[in-house]
Each structure stands twice: as C-alpha cells, then as structure tokens.
C-alpha cells in the first residue's frame, strides 16, 4: 500500500477525457529504487492498480448513465 501511495503521481492518462489506464512502470521503478522496494512490493502494487482501475472505470460507467 505504501508503494502505491508513493506512486500516485505515476498514472498514465489516455484519450480526450484523460482516463487513467495504468501506472507508468518506469516511474514506479524509480520510486522502488529510491525507497528500496523489492519485486514482491511491485506484485502487490499491480494488484492494487488493477483494483483501483476497476473501481474508477465502474464509477465512470455509472456516472455516464
């Protein structure tokens, strides 16, 4: 969770609406190296990333109707 919070500025946005599509892993790697995270932390980050994207996209679909 801590790695996710430290990587919050690394979201990649797409399209005219700036929809979040995932984290910039090059930026995340720099955060990991700076703070000494390992591969296991990255695996956890990916789980949180997928969950967050799912929640954001679900909320977007619900607000569109």
10-residue mean pLDDT series, the chain (65 residues): 95 94 98 97 97 94 83
pLDDT score recorded for residue 2: 95
Distance CA 26, CA 61 (A): 29
Measured in degrees and rounded to the nearest 5, phi and psi for residue 19 equal -70, 135
Q: What interhelical angle do 25-35 and 39-64 show, nearest 10?
A: 140
pLDDT score recorded for residue 27: 98
């Amino acid at each position: 969770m801590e790695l996710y919070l430290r990587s919050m500025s690394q979201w990649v946005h797409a399209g005219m609406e700036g929809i979040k599509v995932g984290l910039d892993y090059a930026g995340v790697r720099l955060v990991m190296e700076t703070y000494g995270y390992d591969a296991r932390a990255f695996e956890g980050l990916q789980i949180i990333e997928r969950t967050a994207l799912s929640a954001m996209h679900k909320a977007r679909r619900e607000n569109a109707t």
